[in-house]
């Protein structure tokens, strides 16, 4: 199995390393980390014993997919969906006639742009449930979790998707296929649409502090997100709000990745999570004022950050 | 006319000084600024030529109203309405049988607490449209505007209110009476409920930057505030949103006083502006999700500030 990872941040480096460890031929297309990764590969440290500490030496480290001798079976696009990023352009030189595109990123309704640009390619949509950070060029720290969910876009599980999932077997990290990966995105978005902007807009509160002061607001945001998902034909269980609130209370308090991005001055996934949710709601004629307010505020925070 | 000012911040010091300049006997009850004001009075510098630069030497500077030889005709309570402040207690020792209570502060529905505590006293509600700051103990800088609106609570204009208004004549600052001062509060709140929280939650944007990025959100918040005011029997003109947006664009860009409070680590008027508006909306059975979202977020910002 021949794989190209585009983006050697935490997500791309980590999942690429797992596939390599299990025997796949994994090359990486690197940008800012190119020199370091080319010379030394990527070092992974994990708090999960089944994953452990190890070194990932990619088959090839390239700056452009044109440098590769053959086109990959799968290209994993592991870049954040942020305003101004041209994801379709990143894929252009990597695709052979049979190459499957795999999107591993947060957010909802992030597939259409790629499906429209490459209508003849199989498109696999992926969600990572993980705490992982890039601590330095070529250094990845895996703190917790890691489950990957993969499914065909817009729906179903093809043999190629199943095969990719199976390639993770034995890596210490579970990969599950999803017949309705779009619904899985909405399900993840229910949590993200509430906690991610609230952590940023509050000025840096963790998940528990948010619930202690604003649980009714968290619930109202979750309910609106569920409303959209249901209207789109991806029904979510009615007790989902209850479950997400109580499981968040049971988990240790933590800062969302959107907050960490904001504090580090990196772009945030505002459009992928909130912007796309609000646009979906409006397209469907739904009233989503809590989400719309958060989206407007996050755009103000981004305007403020851009003016500094 | 014998007047006691409670609170020698920017608002109390400024309006008290105007009344003294026009011939009233004005004493002040000071807390943190007591020593400075007792020894040196208050110095006012104004960017408005008709006001000018001058010195205000109060008739008496006291720490407690019990130190006064006689009860005042009017007591002006010039403190911000913030969570945890017991405003009724501040008035307790200042009231003789004929003393009128004058509230000069921001927010909506801030009168009931005082009316309930002192049902036998005339209650005058006042709104200041002004940019004024206390730059140091005993130092006030008047940047712009200054119009004061006074009316009886809950409605009407009594001779005593008119007399207080007339006492400002010649001071360089206009005072107008309002037959519906509660409606005037809601009218001011339409602007405040939008720009004040947005300036804080955006991380510090001025009025123009807010409009450049989030004008639809500003309009939605204003519309909800108007909805509440109308339901309470204080109808606001339908083109008010339009007028407030265009007048804010015409004024120079500026930071709201709530943002200045937040940046200086002072308590914010969240409850007086947003909390009371949301509670009024809920009491009336109105749907005010934009205001509710902002209120929840502002409470998170306050929780974050309190944890530092």
| Tens-digit pLDDT profile for residues B187-234 | 999 999 999 999 999 999 999 999 999 999 999 999 999 999 999 999
Q: Is the pLDDT of residue A85 over 90?
A: no
pLDDT of residue A135: 93
Domain with CATH 3.40.50.720 in chain B: 2-179
Contacts of A217 in chain B (CB under 8 A): 292-293, 296-297
Contacts of A298 in chain B (CB under 8 A): none
Q: Do the chains contact at B297 and A209, CB–CB below 8 Å?
A: no
Give, to the nearest 10 degrees, the angle between helix B181-201 and helix A289-306: 60
Domain with CATH 1.10.1040.10 in chain B: 183-306
pLDDT of residue B76: 98
The CATH homologous superfamily of the domain defined by B2-179: NAD(P)-binding Rossmann-like Domain (3.40.50.720)
Which of A197, A199, A213 to mutate against chain B (most B CBs within 10 Å)? Answer: A213
Contacts of A290 in chain B (CB under 8 A): 289, 292-293
What ipTM is given for this predicted complex?
0.88
Residues of chain B whose pLDDT is less than 70?
none
Please, are residues A254 and A244 in contact by the beta-carbon 8 Å criterion?
no
Nearest one of A32, A17, A247 to A132, comparing CA atoms: A17
Q: Do the chains contact at A289 and B220, CB–CB below 8 Å?
A: yes
Contacts of A216 in chain B (CB under 8 A): 296
> Hey, is the C-beta of A217 within 8 angstroms of any chain B C-beta?
yes
Of A202, A203, A289, the CB nearest to B290: A289
Task: Provide the 10 A C-beta neighbour count for residue A246.
Answer: 11
| Tens-digit pLDDT profile for residues A3-47 | 999 988 999 999 999 999 999 999 999 988 999 999 999 999 999
Tokens found for residue A269: 């996934």
For chain A, percent of residues with pLDDT exceeding 70 = 100
Please, are residues B100 and B160 in contact by the beta-carbon 8 Å criterion?
yes
Which of B208, B213, B298 to mutate against chain A (most A CBs within 10 Å)? Answer: B213
Å from A306 to nearest chain B CA? 11
pLDDT of residue B160: 98
What is the distance between the alpha carbons of residues A153 and A149, in angstroms, rounded to a whole number? 12
CB-based contacts of B285: which residues, under 8 Å, 6+ apart?
A: none
Q: Do the chains contact at A303 and B201, CB–CB below 8 Å?
A: no
CB-based contacts of A84: which residues, under 8 Å, 6+ apart?
A: A267
Instruction: Specify whether domain A183-306 bears CATH 3.10.20.520.
Output: no
pLDDT of residue A83: 83
Q: What is the DSSP letter of A78?
A: -
CB-based contacts of B276: which residues, under 8 Å, 6+ apart?
A: B107, B108, B109, B110
CB-based contacts of B213: which residues, under 8 Å, 6+ apart?
A: A296, A299, A300, A303, B205
Q: Do the chains contact at A303 and B209, CB–CB below 8 Å?
A: yes
What is the distance between the alpha carbons of residues A99 and A156, in angstroms, rounded to a whole number? 18
Q: What is the DSSP letter of B154?
A: S
Please, are residues A48 and A146 in contact by the beta-carbon 8 Å criterion?
yes
Contacts of A289 in chain B (CB under 8 A): 220, 289-290, 293
Mean pLDDT computed over A102-116: 97
pLDDT of residue B276: 98
> Hey, is the C-beta of B305 within 8 angstroms of any chain A C-beta?
yes
Q: What is the DSSP letter of B149?
A: E
Nearest one of A167, A161, A202, A197 to A272, comparing CA atoms: A197
Please, are residues A130 and A14 in contact by the beta-carbon 8 Å criterion?
yes
Pairing of strands B42-46, B139-152: parallel
| Tens-digit pLDDT profile for residues A181-233 | 999 999 999 999 999 999 999 999 999 999 999 999 999 999 999 999 999 99
In order, the DSSP letters of B39-90 are HH-EEEEESSTTT-SEEE--S-EESSGGG-SS--SEEEE-----TT--HHHH
> Hey, is the C-beta of B220 within 8 angstroms of any chain A C-beta?
yes
pLDDT of residue B124: 98
Please, are residues B25 and B94 in contact by the beta-carbon 8 Å criterion?
no
Of A201, A220, A303, the CB nearest to B201: A201
Contacts of B203 in chain A (CB under 8 A): 203, 300-301, 304-305
| Tens-digit pLDDT profile for residues A161-182 | 999 999 999 999 999 999 999 9
Phi/psi zone of residue B203: left (φ > 0), alpha (ψ -120 to 50 degrees), beta? left
pLDDT of residue B230: 98
Confidence at A81, pLDDT banded by 50, 70, 90: very high
Contacts of A211 in chain B (CB under 8 A): none
The secondary element (H helix, E strand) that includes residue A44 is: strand A42-46
Tokens found for residue B184: 């005037």
SS3 A73: coil
Mean pLDDT computed over A112-140: 96
């Amino acid at each position: 199995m021949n794989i190209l990872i585009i983006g050697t941040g935490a997500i791309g480096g980590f999942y690429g390393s797992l596939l390599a460890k299990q025997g796949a031929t994994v090359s990486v297309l690197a940008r800012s980390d190119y020199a370091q990764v080319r010379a030394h590969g990527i070092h992974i440290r994990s708090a999960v014993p089944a994953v452990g500490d190890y070194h990932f030496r990619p088959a090839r480290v390239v700056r452009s997919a044109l440098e590769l001798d053959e086109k990959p079976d799968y290209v994993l696009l592991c870049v954040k969906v942020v305003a101004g990023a041209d994801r379709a352009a990143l894929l252009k030189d990597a695709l052979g006639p049979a190459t499957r595109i795999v999107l591993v990123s947060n957010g909802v309704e992030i597939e259409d742009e790629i499906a429209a640009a490459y209508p003849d390619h199989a498109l696999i949509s992926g969600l990572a449930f993980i705490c992982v950070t890039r601590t330095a060029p070529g250094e990845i720290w895996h703190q917790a979790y890691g489950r990957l969910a993969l499914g065909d876009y817009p729906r179903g599980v093809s043999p190629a998707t199943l095969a990719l999932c199976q390639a993770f077997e034995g890596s210490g990290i579970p990969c599950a296929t999803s017949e309705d990966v779009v619904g899985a995105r909405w399900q993840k978005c229910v949590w993200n649409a509430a906690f991610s902007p609230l952590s940023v807009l509050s000025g840096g509160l963790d998940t528990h502090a948010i619930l202690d002061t604003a649980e009714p607001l968290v619930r109202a945001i979750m309910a609106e997100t569920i409303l959209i998902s249901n209207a789109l034909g991806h029904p979510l269980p009615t007790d989902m709000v209850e479950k997400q609130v109580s499981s968040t209370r049971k988990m240790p308090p933590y800062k969302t990745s959107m907050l960490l991005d904001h504090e580090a001055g990196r772009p945030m996934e505002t459009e992928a999570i909130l912007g796309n949710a609000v646009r979906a709601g409006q397209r469907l004629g739904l009233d989503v004022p809590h989400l719309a307010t958060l989206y407007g505020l996050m755009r103000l925070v981004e305007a403020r950050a851009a003016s500094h």
